Amino acid sequence: MDVSIVIPFLNEEPNLKPLCEEIKGAMDTTDKSYEVLFIDDGSTDGGVKVLEDFRSEMPQIKVVSFRRNFGQTAAMVAGLDYAEGDIVVTLDADRQNDPADIPKMVAKIEEGYDMACGWRFDRQDTYLSRKLPSMLANRLISKITDVSLHDYGCTLKAMRKELAKRVTLYGEMHRFIPAVASGVGAKIAEVKVNHRARTAGESKYGISRTFRVVLDLITVKFLLRYHARPLHFFGMPGLALGGVGGLMLTYLTVERLFFGVPLGDRPLLIFAFLLIVIGVQFILFGLIGEMQTRTYYESQNKPIYHVRRTVGIDANEIT
């Protein structure tokens, strides 16, 4: 199998048949063998029946149907798990992503990149509710994750199979796939893609997702930079707070011993002790995190590095 096309969907019945026809038209112009893997995230409409009926015309269609709604990240992970193609392409089921761009994404991977991310250069969405928040979020995410992209929210992506199987997602982290991929050393490219206005169905996104993005961004930053050294994450603020508290306490001690200034009515004394206690707690959190990290890696034999390729080395030689 050359290409696996992964499409999570939720209540997109009117879009599924036209989407399949567009995918078939785009992929039949190539010499690639492919599968189209639909992940039903607990839909309550007749979308799965539409796909089952259309398999007579397009046997490449496969469907994984969840027992209930688990969210887009879970659906995306399931799609990556079930994908069998050497290159995995993901896109939305709302037809705003153009399947005609799939061959272009695949070609970018064949140039030597590990991942190709779509950039909705001329996005067909409302400015205030969709485009402006997305623009601000993309700048923030790029700054914090050190993976600079114009469009983190575009679902249209392509990646090598070995990378797709290595990406681990939780919560609602599907939008951070490029950042997670960079954590294992992926070579990432950005490709301008066509974006279309929704013509059927209802959008599943709202402005409320902004708050979830911020929380997930904190998680991604921690996992990318500090998952193997949590003491650095907690220890730095702990040392800073404890150091400030220690300086305050030293100042108060000098005042009491050498200048006879009473300390019984000094709120600064309580504040200094509070900072020292909080600083010690931060450091203890870091030490606990270090022990959990050791357990995580050693109990599951997790690697702390990822090899792109080897020359003159047999994989069986590694013990």
Q: Cα–Cα distance between 308 and 186 in angstroms, integer?
A: 9
Exposed, middle or buried, 196 (CB in 10 Å: 0-12/13-18/19+)? Answer: middle
- Please identify which residue in the block is written with the tokens 């509710």: 129
Helix/strand/coil (H, E, C) string of the chain? CCEEEEEEECCCHHHHHHHHHHHHHHHCCCCCCEEEEEEECCCCCCHHHHHHHHCCCCCCEEEEECCCCCCHHHHHHHHHHHCCCCEEEECCCCCCECHHHHHHHHHHHHCCCCEEEEEECCCCCCHHHHHHHHHHHHHHHHHHHCCCCCCCCCCCEEEEHHHHCCCCCCCCHHHHHHHHHHCCCCCEEEEEECECCCCCCCCCCCCCHHHHHHHHHHHHHHHHHCCCCHHHHHHHHHHHHHHHHHHHHHHHHHHHHHHCCCCCCCHHHHHHHHHHHHHHHHHHHHHHHHHHHHHHHHHCCCCCCCCCCCCCCCHHHCC
Centre a 10 Å sphere on the Cβ of residue 197 and count the other Cβ atoms it contains.
11
Residues with Cβ < 8 Å from 138, sequence gap 6 or more? 149, 150, 151, 152, 153
User: CB within 8 A of 89, min separation 6: which ones?
Assistant: 3, 4, 5, 6, 102, 105, 106, 156, 157, 158
Residue 45 is predicted with a pLDDT of 92
Beta bridge partners of 35: 4
Report whether 22 contacts 52 (CB < 8 A). no
Distance CA 27, CA 104 (A): 11
pTM of model > 0.85: no
Give the up-direction half-sphere exposure of residue 309: CA atoms within 13 A in the CB hemisphere: 4
Pairing of strands 61-65, 115-120: unpaired
> What is the number of alpha carbons within 13 Å of residue 75 lying toward its C-beta?
28
Place of tokens 């959990």: 292
Report pLDDT for 132: 76
pLDDT score, position 133: 76
Per-residue pLDDT tens, the chain, 319 aa: give them: 899 999 999 999 999 999 999 999 999 999 999 999 999 999 999 999 999 999 999 999 999 999 899 888 889 999 999 999 999 999 999 999 999 999 999 999 999 999 999 998 888 777 676 777 778 888 888 888 888 888 888 899 999 999 998 887 876 778 888 888 888 889 999 999 998 887 776 766 655 566 677 777 777 778 777 777 888 889 999 999 999 999 999 999 999 899 888 887 889 999 999 999 999 999 999 899 888 877 876 776 766 666 666 666 665 555 4
